[in-house]
Amino acid sequence: MRIDVYCGSDKRGWHHSAFTAPDAGGYADRSTITVPINFESSCSESFAIVIHFLGAFLMLDEISPVVGYPSVAITESKAEPELAPDRLVDDSKNRLKEQLAADQRAWLRRYIEFNEMQNGAAWLSPPWSSLEMQSLSPEMTAVTSLAIQGSQDWSNDYIVGLLNGSSEAQEFFLSGRAAAVKKREVLVVMSVLAANGRTVFDPLRPLASEGVRVPPQSMTYLLIREVASESYSQVLTVTSNQGLRRELQVNVEILPGISDRRGPGPAVVVWSYLSDAPLWREDNRNALISLLREGGVNVFVVHPSSIPLPGDAGEWARLGATLSRELQAYRGAKQVLLYLAWDDRLRPTNDDELLRRDVQEWTARLIRLMTDEGYNFDDWAIYPVDEPKGGDYKLIAKVGEWIKEKEGKIRIYANPGQVNIRDLVPGGALQSAAAFVDIWQPLLGTPAKVMRPLVNKGRDQEWWIYQVGRQPAKAIPPGCYRKLGWEAVRNSATGFGFWSFSDTGKSSAWDDYDGIRPDWAVVYEEPDGAVTSSRRWEAFRQGIRDYRALQECQAVHGNEKSTRESCDRFEEILSISFAGLRCE
């Protein structure tokens, strides 16, 4: 927690006068708390308080300032700039980030000194494990040998950690390459400050030179990606311009017969909207759609702001062209979901017959537009409500009945985020929607578990799953994104995805503190409209390959023995890798 106090007035301006950073974990619930604050300058007028809390939630009630008079006069030790009232929160956020970054640097300095690592270190790590700075340990930095398993069809990935414990910058160099390695890519894993106050290593940029520069008393990671057609072992030698030398042993086992090219591809959705600024721009739209498709995404979601509402002819004149342009951009996708948000946007009325007429007229116009844009009925689906619950299922059932009455080939999509057991009983709200929903994509966990028996009872329904994870998303272990492909196979799902590829609340993806909430995006914007990838995004792409390979494995039981053995080993490796990985 951090509390900043500003003194002044709206007319004369505000200046920073005091701050404190109490340990919020030491406070009991429902208790009265007194927080002492020492003022750095006098406060003769009004004061404002800005509070930051790094946790799940904070509830404040009855804040009562108690002013004590100092025994000595307060000296104006520094001249603070005057601020407009609407700048106080931003000023406080900047101070918080500076404090957290300084705390992280101090923690690493203490770690270096306590473990006598002034000479530096180099070590190996699995590619998708948590790499928070404060997860560093002597056991972690002692790992100099790593065994990984892979396929001829995709890159074999691993992490090299680099620590500079000296008081001067060091240049680190990596040498050594097995003859079997046909291609190698080296990426620098950059650090960002997550909303939990921890430094995490997530964004990826290509190594621009032969060496990587590490500032004094700091650390970085390299993601090594190698492609080979056979198993290999290699010794990597890490050296620095200050005399460090470490040898790291990497053993790669290529599993024969494992492929992600023959297995059926899943439906993959990551909820990326064209309005997700600053990642999406008018001039990078096609490039980002291509990047998503190359990554395995084949289900795109149209935002409600691009879709006309029923009952208003002017909506089609205003938004029809916008919707057409978006559909043209997604043409060729496996599926396009038209997210309507009708729980909030549909015009309320007590006349169901009037609403039914409006919805069916809207349906007819939508069919004409989708046909004109080259979409067959199998290419798209209606997405009435996001994460429905309770009464939302009744709305889905109502509009689903009206839409299918107009055209039975139209498909309905629903993604329950929570399920009440009462909704599942015969005659319950969810049961009523089930008669009209064609694609279910419940949240992984309890919703998926309790809903699974409903699917395909008398109707041909698709079954997908999705995951949101916990905030801040930057601190979610990348392995959780990879795990989704494995979870989809375990849940007999033909599709999966996560929230979200590009949602930042329209603030920068590089800064978890510049918006009203932390960012969910798994890529980072660049000034030229390009995006920087991340370990989380690359891990998810690996999960798509895992899914395809596992599906292929399920179809090879009658094939040659070596392939069956490879499949058994591959499945065992994934099960061990994901055991105990907490992702919710």
Angle at 484 between CA 482 and CA 487, to 5 degrees: 125
What's the confidence (pLDDT) of residue 73?
A: 45
Q: What is the pLDDT of residues 525-534, one digit of tens each?
A: 999 999 999 9
Taking residues 253-264, report their average pLDDT: 82
Q: What is the pLDDT of residues 432-454, one digit of tens each?
A: 899 999 999 999 999 999 888 87
Question: How does DSSP assign 26-74, residue by residue?
Answer: GPPTT---------SS---SEEEEEEE--SS--------------SSPP
What's the confidence (pLDDT) of residue 112?
A: 97
Taking residues 132-141, report their average pLDDT: 94
What's the confidence (pLDDT) of residue 42?
A: 72
pLDDT of 347 strictly over 90: no
Q: What is the pLDDT of residues 9-18, one digit of tens each?
A: 888 889 898 8
CATH fold for domain 267-551: TIM Barrel (3.20.20)
Q: Find out whether 483 and 469 touch, Cβ atoms under 8 Å.
A: no
Compute the distance between CA of residue 346 and CA of residue 194 in angstroms, rounded to an integer: 37
Compute the distance between CA of residue 311 and CA of residue 265 in angstroms, rounded to an integer: 39
Mean pLDDT check: name the lowest of 141-150, 176-185, 234-243, 310-319: 310-319
Mean pLDDT score of the chain = 90
What's the confidence (pLDDT) of residue 557?
A: 60
Domain with CATH 3.20.20.80 in the chain: 267-551
CATH superfamily of 121-254: Immunoglobulins (2.60.40.10)
* Dihedral sign from CA coordinates of 297, 303, 309, 313: negative
Tokens of 346: 């549909």
**Residue located via tokens 């074999």:** 156
Q: Find out whether 252 and 127 touch, Cβ atoms under 8 Å.
A: no
Q: What is the pLDDT of residues 55-99, one digit of tens each?
A: 666 777 777 766 665 544 444 545 678 899 999 999 999 999 999
Residues near 31 by beta carbon (within 8 Å), at least 6 away in sequence: none
Domain with CATH 2.60.40.10 in the chain: 121-254
Give percent above pLDDT 90 in the chain: 71
H-helix or E-strand spanning residue 203: strand 199-206
What's the confidence (pLDDT) of residue 72?
A: 43
Q: What is the pLDDT of residues 476-521, one digit of tens each?
A: 999 999 999 999 999 999 999 999 999 999 999 999 999 889 999 9
Whether omega for the bond prior to residue 209 falls within 30 degrees of 0, making it cis, is no
Surface-to-core class of residue 348, CB atoms within 10 Å of its CB (0-12 exposed, 13-18 middle, 19+ buried): exposed
